[in-house]
Structure 1
Amino acid sequence: MTAAGQVAPPSARFSALAVPNYRRFIAGQGISLIGSWTETVAQGVLVLTMTGSAFDLGLVAAVRYLPVLLLAPYAGVLVDRHDRRRTLLVTQTALAMLALGFGIVILTGHQSLMLALLVAVVFGVLTAVDNPARMALIPELVGREALHSAVTLNSILANVGRGVGPLVAAALIGTVGLGWCFIANAASFTLVIALLLSMRTAQIHSEGRIPRRPGQVRAALRVARTNPQLLGPLVMMTIVGTLAYEYEVSLPVFGEHSLAGGADEYAWLTAGFGAGSIAAGVFLLFWPQTGLTRMAMISGAYGVTLGLTAAAPNSLVANVTIVFVGACSIGFLTTGNSTVQLFAPAGMRGRVTALWTTAFIGTTPIGAVIVGGVGQAFGGRASLFLAAAACLTAAGVGALIGRIRPRDDAPPTPSSPRR
């Protein structure tokens, strides 16, 4: 396995792409994630347009991810008990129907805050199952030898989608309107479903299904607690996920109010963020990063770039510094995601990745309300300064956890890379 920071040979970097099922998976997910982030940006603009309130924006984001906070650990058990491809077929179909329905509602002029809240709740329930199912399916598609390549490629693509989606949203909002962002997301799920159905099931190497028994969530927590390479990323993501990854709340307020640029400024900020994500994604493809030490270093850089953006005196400077924020964002996410997947035990992958989902997305109900409240009271700059402080704190915490030796009674992690 390639050490962090070393240039990976081409055969190692792209080995997962030699697997036909993985090519189908990553092609579908790439399109779907672009659609999902197109919808996410549109939802933020919609709520801010309807209410003009940063608090309401934070409330919708909180409700959108509250089910992930409450259900994700148990959803991970569900993923470990059932066929992961079939689970994805169910969740992706339901998400497509939800996006299509709400898009039609917006196009016909019947949107309301209460309806946006209801859609957000249903989205959250489906996401609680969908995220760990997607992450846990990857090893079954490629096997152990190409796992590092697959995880890295998928993490990069996921975060590139996070960057490209806002570009698509900005184009659609500026031309045909908000409703078409939701229609476009629904259409993206259609391709995912078709590609999942086209997979060669005989070439999917199942890691096995666990039987129903008590204590399965506690077992995953015990594994995470006793392995610093799992504990560190999970704790760091909890801190950063709560206070930094609330861009659905902080960037609209920062762009429209602090920079006085209106909805167009939010779109430009997200576009710059996306450009940085894409550039960093290409870099990480050639220099993949894993391990807690690398993650702590990237978290420190993340905090610095967020602080520079918060202090930007005008729109031009903010649109330059946000590019570096996007680059650090994908570096942090990809390094943490890769580390967690590589060190997660095979029979527990659904539950461990569900803990990562909880730390990343499930903390939004708490963070969105805090960031929304800070933005409402002190402005968008304060929200970004808070995010910067969270990243710097996480860097310090990660460095401390990195000094902990794995406990002698720690459960074995058969999928962990040799160090």
Structure 2
Amino acid sequence: MTLRLALAVLAVAACAHPARAQEVAEDPNLGEQDDRVTFGGLVQTQLNTSGQDGADATDLSLRRVRLSANARVSPLVSGRIQAELANAAVGGSAELNEAYALFEFDPAVGVLVGKGGRPFGIIDATTAAALTPIERGARFRGAEAAELYRTLEALAYAGRSVGVQVLGEVGPVVYAAGYFRGAAGEEGGDADIRQFAARVQVQPVAGVKVGLAATSRAFARDDPPRLDPDGSALGDDPSGDTRRGGGVALDVEVGDYGRPGFHALAEVVTGTLDPFRDHAFIGAQGWLAYRVEGLAERTGGVLVAVEPLFRASASDAEGPVGRYDGVLLTPGLNLYAAQNTRLALNLDVFLRGGAEGGEAPLDGDDTLVAFRGQVQIAF
């Protein structure tokens, strides 16, 4: 999709019908409003250093540039279109990040049809504008690194996909379940992996949310990711063209994004890595932050809040697939000029794991270190 086409789609959505933003919107500052079109956007400009010799020492790029339109067609029907323009800003093509219709029969029962997020895990469910660390997982230019979230992306357990979901809220219970066509990882193309995913979240006490999720998908014999250290594909089994695999996630969140005090988020996931060789993985990720507000007077209005943070994420894979073994540690600091306008500073340290038998999983250093600074504006 070109930049011109993406902007035209947003304009048509805005002019077609009155609207209100949905709770599932990417931008957390978009509240629900009846009888109008609501627009939102997100701009993240990132400076990062490389974790690998041979890559450019520093890079300044537009990490995300998103425009969103939320449209209310009737009391029953609403919709959302979101374009990702970061690639278009450097001569590439715009992407359709989200595009769906939502039929709200009742607060307890709704049907979402189109491209949206899979209901699997709280890390993936956290919107880009509300991430405590800069990234959900490991990203090192010039080097491969995979902890929990990168493993989930590569296996297409996390991320957006085209599908149909049933979702709703009943008292303290929020749920979503759906069928998805799928894609072979975040950077992969569309693929019919016949995926089912579901998540239920409860709030047993004020300020605490607990979630349980499960997913199941079809793996093909030649389906990426290619996990062996030598680059050969896993799942080269002549006994069948496809096999099913899946995962289970348990997550918890204490506190809320944008509120003063502690905010903690953790997730544990286990599942299939390669169903043809009966390889599995287990991983965990946790965020811990403490937000201090009331700084406007003391800083002359420059800062409204500061938030020191720490993130730890790890994945452990069975078999000679050390590419999916690693630990990511991230100390950081968020400096807020407004609720969703901030300067984020992160130091990512990735400790690469080893394959069974002590073999090095990939060429390169066992430890990768990269600094990131990111300016974010969400509106």
TM-score range, shorter chain: under 0.3
More strand by share: 2
Higher relative contact order (CA 8 A, sep 6+): 1
More helix by share: 1
